[in-house]
Structures are given as structure tokens and as C-alpha cells.
Amino acid sequence: MLKKLASMISGSKADYVDIRYEVKKETSAVLAGTDLKKAGSNSTDGFVVRSLNNGGFSAVTVTREEDVPEAIRLAIEGADAMSGEGKVVKMAPVEPAQDWVEPELEIDPATIALEEKIKLLRKYNDLMLSVAEIANTNMGYSEVDREKFFVSSEGASIRERICTVSISGEAIARRDNLTQNIRVAVGGASGFKSLLNRDEVFLKRAKLAKELLDAEPVKAGTYDVIINPGLTGTFIHEAFGHFSEADIIENNPPLRARMAMDSRIGSDVVNIIADTTIPDQVGFYKYDDEGTPVRKVSLMTKGVLTGRLHSRRTAAEFNEPVSGHAVAEDHRYEPIVRMGMIYLDKGKKTFDELLTQLGDGLYICDGKGGQTSGENFTFGAQYGYVVKAGEIKGMIRDINIMGNMFTTMKNIEAVDDQIRFSERGGCGKGQLNIKSGYGGPSVLIRSMVIGGV
């Protein structure tokens, strides 16, 4: 296929042309309670052609191979038509790679029958339903296998396969008129083995849902808090991470000025890293969807902005190094700047030391939806606890946290020494969900606004 793609774009009369062919295979199964609502697999494929010519840029997508020559012609014509309209588009230089990347999977999901995948899903589902007062469940198996072929007029020739799997859902507890739920997810990019022998995870999450029936609704107010790794990852991704994507701030002069390199954004203990090269983690890849090798990026170092996520176009626009973060959901889209794996780096304190330093406050755990509006955020938390004199006490529920990203980053006082990464990620920026991951340690934050009763 790589030779065929190279032949397709050879002789194209443009400053730059690339073509990406992708095959995406998806397998899923969904349970509502004990009822199997759907199960099956499907495969789609298609081509994305991009052209840069005389400062104009254009992209065309097609699904049939016989339409590719016309797509190349239209992409070049589109670039010519855009030439002279608005900004001159440039692409930062990248050494063209020739590579073939296969994931190192511990049990390739493609070798496991769908019936076995459903059997495993049912096993974990039944485990949660076996817990007293668990009234219902919603559970799903998901497998996404992408094989990408990328060729450019600069000489890049790359084939890469990316495979992620997960079993995820929620346990729903009910007592009289009170209903509470807890989410659960296992998986990653290391293969089917990551889903095996995870009974303890599902039982623990179901028991948490049951315990929430006895929890007290949190009282609204301003608290000093510790957030656990699950909530840290959500916060870093949603509240800060998108501001690290160059195309988000590119045409927003006030925000671009505030996010200038060497600006102080957080406290001295805040170190944020984007590292899509971590093996086995959700979001892992070696090359992005314009053939750039991804690299580890230190986005914030001791509270100071030190890096940014880029495509080749935005790297040229900002005059900053390329990072390999131009990613598309699949063959229907051209790539845009996306996070792969982003996390807050660990500190030197133990969790017990964080509790002692907190004194009185709240310990809040695991994200539950939310939204951002510019630099302001609102997130739900799945559960939490009151902390008195450094000791974890009664459980609380119905928790929402809200604040300003810049203020909150400076209110981070301490970070513990244990990082946990998400096993199932996702991000809906601009396109449908992609498999992006996040993580971090537990974090002590002063003066957090908590919504409740």
C-alpha cells in the first residue's frame, strides 16, 4: 500500500502533498443489566489527501481508491484557491521518516473470538450485580484497531498500527428513592491481557456505589481539598490541556499572550508533561497523522510554561518546535492538534503527608463529567470524604468543583509521589472521541469552590 500511495502522489505539481490511507476496525458489545443490547464488528477505510501550494492549504477525503486521483487534483486546486486568502500557511520542517510500527500487544484482541469478549464482559457485569443494593449496570466492551499508511511528497513513508481495548461502564445502586452510580474502566493499549483478572476492580467500584447510599450530600462552600489521581487527570486534561494545544489559542490574542512561553501559570510544584511515547498507555503512538514523530513535551516546569502541542502548521505559526500532536479521529478527517497522554508529574510527598498538610478539608475522587468555558471550569466528582485533622472521615456525595484554571494552578500547594494513568481516555475536541489519556498523582489545592446543598 505504501508504494501505491507514493505512486498516486508522484508528479503532483504542488509545494507539498501527503496522503493517508487508514483502515479502522471496531468491535463492541453493550450490556444493560443482563441484557445484551448489541454486539458485533465493523470495518471502514478511506483516504485523506492534503496539499500546500503557494501559501494555500487544502484537504480532501474520499472512501474509494478510484477517487483518489480526483481528490489529489481537488486538494491542489483548493490550495491554489486559498493562496492569497488570509494568512500564508507554512509547515515547519520535519525529517521524513520511513518506518513500520507494530504494537507490542500482550494477546492481540484480533485473535480472541467475539463470544469470549462477551463472556468476559458478562463476568465482570455479574460480579457488580452480585453486590447488595446494586440495582442495575450499564457495561460495554470496546476495541478500536487503526492501521495507518502515510506517504508525503517529502519522502515520508510510514505504516503504523494502534490498538486499544476497554471494558467500562457504571454500577447503579438504589435504596428507596435514592440512586447513586460509580463508573468503572479497565484497558489500555497493551492488548487483551489488560482486561483479564480484573475482578477486584469491578467489585471495589460496585461496593463504592453501595456505600454512596449512606453518604451525606456535601455542603456548598470553599474548601481546602485533596483530589485523587482520577480527578487530577480530568482537571489537567480539561482545564489546562486544551490551552496547551496551539490551535486553541492561535486566534485568541488575549489568551495567546497569557499563555506565552516562560509565563508563570502555576505554583512551583506544578510540572505538566505530554508524553504519548509511554508504552501500553491509552493515547500511545509513534507518529502523528502528518508523519511527525511524537516527542515528550514538558508543558509546564515548576509552574512556568515551557512547551506547547503543535502540528507542523502551528509550529511554523508560533515559531516553536514541532511536537507530533496532529491527530485525526479516522480517515474521515484531516488532523488537528490533539493531546495524546497528558499528566501532572509526581512530587516527593506521601499521601499521608498530604493529609497531614491538609488538616481539615475534603478528599475528592474521580471525575464525573463537566465543562469548561474559557479559563473557567466545572467538574463533577463521583465521591469524596470529609477530612478532619488529617484523617479521612465520613463519605460525601453530589460533589461539583468549580474554579478558574489560572487561579487554581497557583493554589496547588503539594503533590504526592504516586502517579496513576487512566485506562480509558477520550476527547471530543473538534471531532468525535479519540483515545487520549491522562493521569497524575493526588494533589492538595487550597480554596476550591465546591457546589452542593
Whole-angstrom distance, CA of residue 202 vs CA of residue 361: 29
Task: Give the residue carrying C-alpha cell 479521612.
Answer: 392
Q: Write the pLDDT tens digit of every residue in 311-366.
A: 999 999 999 999 999 999 899 999 999 998 999 999 999 999 999 999 999 999 99
pLDDT per position as a tens digit, 283-300: 899 999 999 999 999 999
Q: What local confidence, expressed as pLDDT, does residue 428 receive? A: 65
Look over the chain and give the mean of its residue pLDDT values, rounded to a whole number: 95
CA atoms lying within 13 Å on the CB side of residue 309: 28
DSSP assigned state of 210: H
160 vs 335: CA distance, rounded Å? 16
Closest CA to 371 of 415, 401, 348, 335: 401
What is the Cα–Cα distance from 165 to 128, expressed in whole angstroms?
20
**pLDDT for the residue 169:** 98
What gap in Å lies between CA 205 and CA 210, rounded to an integer? 9
Predicted confidence (pLDDT) per residue in 128-184, tens digit: 999 999 999 999 999 999 999 999 999 999 999 999 999 999 999 999 999 999 999
**DSSP for residue 340:** S
Cα angle: 339, vertex 231, 31; to 5 degrees = 85
**For residue 315, what are the contacts with CB-CB under 8 A and spacing of at least 6?**
92, 246, 321, 322, 323
Q: Mind listing the domains of the chain with CATH numbers? A: 2-212 (3.30.2290.10), 216-451 (no CATH)
253: exposed, middle or buried (Cβ count in 10 Å: 0-12, 13-18, 19+): exposed
11 backbone φψ class: left, alpha, beta (φ>0; ψ -120 to 50) = left
Residues in the chain, pLDDT under 70:
428-434, 453
